[in-house]
């Protein structure tokens, strides 16, 4: 049934009149990378029994769909390391009202999974690629997999998926690659997106001296390309990135997720479900409501809906990431889905 025809009794709107249409679902807190800005050295993974089953995930998504959510992003950890990820894409995509199932991945397993995922209904994939330098890649990810990630990008494109490249921007690490990463992406018809590093994990993985701001990123692009940057919106506004073109050239587009220097809380339209079933209204705070506990106690869909609305009441007007080290959540990016 087309989503426009589905009845929505009371759409999800938070206390600041922001409409929730976008759900991010972590499938696992495990990953085949060990990125230094994402995973602590002493990371404790959740036991398998604590994770939502795919049937439980589909049930939660179905409730969200009835409340007006139209887009679901599968994250991790690394979502492709969970068995039967292709099946869950198909299950979620078959839910009435869900217009798009998309994914964020490090790309390594897309060499073999891109085509099955596309056939199951996956529409888009954002692939993490912070550097084109093999040595720096190994230092950042603790894995020697740069060639496999690039092959994964090409496999996703060959499968017909829309691809964006996610780049965590770090001063003194990859600030000298802003242009080369853009050129790499543009040569494949892909949009690069630069992400300001955020102080998750109680700020323990965050180094203020490595902060690369949205202004600095834009300056690097214009300094190389010349011309003027023009803002544009690629289709319906679904996520936090702001996009620009160089002189209106569609072949030279890029995005920035500027959580630190130019925050976007006033337009937030999303909530996050962890692999263990905790619903977080905001990435920047630790408070959450357990949907897993309600489901496993035999709760009805109405009770799940009530819990979702209760979580939404916890959604603040904004975060305090810009006050570096203040308000930093204890949760890890790998646990909540980057």
- How confident is the prediction along the chain (338 residues), in pLDDT tens digits per residue? 445 445 556 889 998 999 999 999 999 999 888 888 877 677 777 888 999 999 999 999 999 999 999 999 999 899 999 999 999 999 999 999 999 999 999 999 999 999 999 999 999 999 999 999 999 999 999 999 999 999 999 999 999 999 999 999 999 999 999 999 999 999 999 999 999 988 766 666 678 888 899 999 999 999 888 778 999 887 666 788 999 999 889 899 999 998 888 888 888 899 999 999 999 988 878 888 999 999 999 999 999 999 999 999 888 887 766 554 455 667 666 667 76
The b-or-e profile of 57-76 (16+ CB within 10 A means b, else e) is bebbbbbbbbbbbbbbbbbb
* Integer Cα distance of 26 and 45 in angstroms: 13
- What backbone torsions phi and psi does residue 190 show, to the nearest 5 degrees? -115, 150
Report the CATH superfamily, name and number, of domain 18-336.
Answer: Aldolase class I (3.20.20.70)
CB 288 within 8 A of CB 160: no
Q: What angle do CA 100, 285, 210 make, to 5 degrees?
A: 90
Location of structure tokens 């990859």: 174
- How far CA 224 is from CA of 72, 216, 231, in Å, comes to 36, 12, 18
Within a 13 Å sphere around the CA of 45, how many CA atoms are in the beta-carbon half? 14
Q: Which residues are CB-neighbours of 122 under 8 A, at least 6 positions away?
A: 89, 93, 101, 102, 103, 161
CB 181 within 8 A of CB 16: no
Radius of gyration over every alpha carbon of the chain, rounded to an integer in angstroms? 19
Q: Where are the domains of the chain?
A: 18-336
């Amino acid at each position: 049934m087309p989503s426009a025809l589905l009845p929505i009794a009371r759409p999800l709107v938070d206390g600041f009149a922001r409409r929730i249409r976008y759900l991010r679902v972590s499938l696992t807190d495990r990953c085949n990378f060990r990125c230094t800005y994402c995973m602590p050295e002493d990371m404790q993974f959740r036991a398998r029994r604590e994770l939502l089953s795919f049937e439980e995930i589909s049930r939660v998504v179905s409730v969200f769909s009835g409340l007006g959510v139209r887009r679901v992003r599968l994250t991790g950890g690394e979502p492709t390391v969970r068995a039967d990820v292709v099946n869950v894409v198909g299950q979620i995509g078959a839910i009435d009202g869900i217009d798009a199932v998309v994914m964020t991945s490090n790309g390594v397993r897309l060499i073999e999974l891109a085509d099955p995922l596309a056939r199951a209904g996956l529409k888009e994939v954002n692939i993490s690629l912070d550097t084109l330098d093999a040595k720096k890649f190994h230092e950042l990810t603790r894995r020697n997999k740069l060639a496999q990630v690039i092959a994964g990008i090409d496999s996703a494109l060959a499968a017909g998926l829309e691809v964006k490249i996610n780049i965590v921007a770090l001063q003194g690490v990859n600030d000298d690659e802003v242009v080369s990463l853009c050129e790499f992406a543009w040569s494949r018809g892909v949009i690069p997106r630069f992400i300001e590093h955020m102080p998750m994990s109680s700020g323990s993985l965050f180094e203020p001296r490595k902060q690369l701001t949205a202004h600095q990123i834009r300056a690097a692009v214009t300094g190389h390309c010349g011309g003027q940057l023009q803002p544009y919106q690629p289709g319906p506004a679904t996520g936090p990135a702001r996009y620009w073109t160089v002189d209106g050239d569609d072949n030279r587009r890029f995005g920035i997720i500027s959580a630190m220097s130019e925050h976007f809380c006033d337009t937030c339209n999303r909530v996050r479900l962890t692999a263990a079933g905790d619903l977080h209204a905001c990435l920047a705070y630790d408070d959450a409501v357990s949907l897993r506990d309600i489901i496993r106690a035999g709760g009805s869909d109405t009770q799940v809906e009530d819990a979702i609305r209760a979580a939404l009441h916890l959604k603040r007007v904004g975060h305090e990431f810009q006050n570096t080290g203040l308000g930093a959540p204890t949760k890890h990016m790998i646990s909540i889905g980057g």
